[in-house]
Amino acid sequence: MTALARRDAIAARFARAVARYDDHADVQRHAASTLAARIAALPLPLRPRVLEIGCGTGLLTAALARHIAAADWTITDIAPEMVAATRLAADTGRIDLTGTAHYACLDGEHPDGSHVGQYDLVCSSLAVQWFNDLPAGLQRLAACLAPGGTLAVSTLTADTFKEWRDAHRHFDLRAATPDYPDAGTLARALPGHAGSVTIDPQRVRFADGLGFVRSLKGIGATLPREGARALRPSDFRRVLSRFTDDGATVTYEIAYGVWQRAGDAS
């Protein structure tokens, strides 16, 4: 699958999940609120220019709005249906945005040149893990920062879904879930920018293996890693049973990365 086709497939899956997304988004809600609290501790300008990548249904938008008194918001997602959901939430008062708000469909991995150097804050919660080339994508987002601006993201790292992968390996199978980078790779993604990466593992228990699979489908996170082969039904049932017998608990290894662009030399 080409990078363009993969991007379109990701967008289509999230578009189909928009109506039920919030019902399955406990981990996403936790990551958004945690990232927003970390952003709130930053020395942002009085009315920052904010670019959000991968807004989804507005979880980070809403959390940030509770911390930032006023901003000039540019709120984007790869799926137009998600952009529309966040805009509707703001228009109906479920998200209390103060300042100005612009909404756009945007491939966050490849923002166009009009965004370069324009923002005091570029932020994204649990979206950049879908980038085809995460370090290169983060470098493009960092290029959107004004001098002194901050890039703040939450994303998934290597131990995410380790229990699900272990259930596959028990039968000499390989899970179709994406391969996420380790924290060190993420920390080295932006040389020349002051920053840090911290890890916050979240363990979530499901009623059974099928409950875990349904949770991924509920948020649209179902595109398999490149080259993955679908399991035979009998193998899938064995994996589900093994995962359930092992406790039906799965780790989301959430990384929070915050980097700052240097200010203009005086």
Domain boundaries, the chain: 3-160+178-203+251-260
- As a dihedral over the C-alpha atoms of residue 252, residue 255, residue 256, residue 262, rounded to 10 degrees, the angle is -160
**Per-residue model confidence (pLDDT) at position 266:** 43
**Per-residue model confidence (pLDDT) at position 192:** 84
Query: What is the separation, in whole angstroms, between the first and last Cα of the chain?
Result: 48
**Per-residue model confidence (pLDDT) at position 264:** 66
Rg of the chain on CA atoms, in Å: 19
Dist. CA 232–CA 208, nearest whole Å: 19
pLDDT along the chain (266 residues), means of 10: 89 94 96 98 95 98 95 98 97 95 97 95 97 95 97 98 98 96 92 92 97 96 91 97 98 97 68
**Per-residue model confidence (pLDDT) at position 263:** 75
**Per-residue model confidence (pLDDT) at position 3:** 86
Secondary structure in 3-state letters for the chain:
CCHHHHHHHHHHHHHHHCCCHHHHCHHHHHHHHHHHHHHHCCCCCCCCEEEECCCCCCHHHHHHHCCCCCEEEEEEECCHHHHHHHHHHHHCCCCCCCEEEEEEECCCCCCCHHHCCCEEEEEEECCHHHCCCHHHHHHHHHCCEEEEEEEEEEEECCCCCHHHHHHHHCCCCCCCCCCCCCHHHHHCCCCCCEEEEEEEEEEEECCCHHHHHHHHHHHCCCCCCCCCCCCCHHHHHHHHHHHHHCCCEEEEEEEEEEEECCCCCC
Q: Which CATH architecture has domain 3-160+178-203+251-260?
A: 3-Layer(aba) Sandwich (3.40)
